[in-house]
Amino acid sequence: MRKKIVAGNWKMNLNLNEGVELAKELKNILDADKPNCDVVICTPFIHLASITPLVGDLIGVGAENCADKESGAYTGEVSAAMVASTGAKYVILGHSERRAYYHETSEILKDKVELALANKLTPIFCIGEVLEEREANKQNEVVKKQITDALFNLSAEDFSKIVLAYEPVWAIGTGKTASPEQAQEIHAYIRSVVAEKYGKEVADNTSILYGGSCNPSNAKELFANPDVDGGLIGGASLKAENFKGVIDGFK
Ligand code: 13P
């Protein structure tokens, strides 16, 4: 059956020392009280090589992005192969902040996903509508197009390696969480879209995380839904105690 996962997305926060300290603290806390789900932290590129050896098998480590090119003259970019060489196992792709501020299109994301998979990284692929789309009741249409355009070129075998994260843009960093009913409804819809393309077995095995103002006080209620397989956590992943509170949503 599909995995339950709580993944942190540190975004552009914490210098190297602060990040290393947070990872150590989190490892100690989870060593003392083992989680009932997989735990992942996605960090800025520069933290990866320092953090992967510190956290062992207890915590998966991921990047927040990777390049859409394999290697070469792309100043400032970091390739999927470079990410994998640090020991990281995951990469967030298609985050709404990358789509909105760095103009990442489905065409670009398709290449990133392929390079991530070729380097044995698990993409945590983000989808989600903006407020105007939700208000116009277009959320299903939007997420279906995002998945179809960037992922449905994959074979069933490759698609099975993807983790999806539904992150309504209006809930990210706003303190406005999707209600458990809203989350369940669209997660079930997303699973049906996957089932239509790849069949029920692949859909049943796909982890679909919820992201957007998820915190220790609402995690349990969100994770209790049958189609919500965990969370992608921004702000609440920046303090070990808060992140642990979200992880305990599975207890
Ligand atoms: P917040 O948890 O800060 O709302 O961020 C969610 C997010 O964007 C995770 O990728």
Cα 214 to Cα 132: distance, rounded to the nearest angstrom: 21
Q: What is the distance in A from the centroid of ligand 1 to the CA of 141?
A: 22
Q: What is the distance in A from the centroid of ligand 1 to the CA of 72?
A: 32
Is 21 tagged catalytic? Answer: no
Cα 222 to Cα 3: distance, rounded to the nearest angstrom: 16
Q: Which residue has the tokens 């603290």?
A: 25
Given the residues 95, 104, 133, 187, the one annotated as active site: 95
Global model pTM greater than 0.75: yes
State the pLDDT confidence band at 1, using cuts at 50, 70 and 90: confident
Average pLDDT over residues 199-211: 98
Give kind and range of the element (H or E) at residue 151. Answer: helix 139-151
Residue-wise pLDDT tens digits, 209-229:
999 999 999 999 999 999 999
Instruction: Look over the chain and give the mean of its residue pLDDT values, rounded to a whole number.
Output: 98
Residue-wise pLDDT tens digits, 119-156:
999 999 999 999 999 999 999 999 999 999 999 999 99
Cα 228 to Cα 3: distance, rounded to the nearest angstrom: 11
Give kind and range of the element (H or E) at residue 122. Answer: strand 122-127
**Residue 3 per-residue DSSP state:** P
Average pLDDT over residues 81-97: 98
Is 241 tagged catalytic? Answer: no
Domains of the chain and CATH, by start? 5-250 (3.20.20.70)
Query: Helix 106-118 crosses helix 139-151 at what angle (to 10 degrees)?
Result: 50
State the pLDDT confidence band at 17, using cuts at 50, 70 and 90: very high
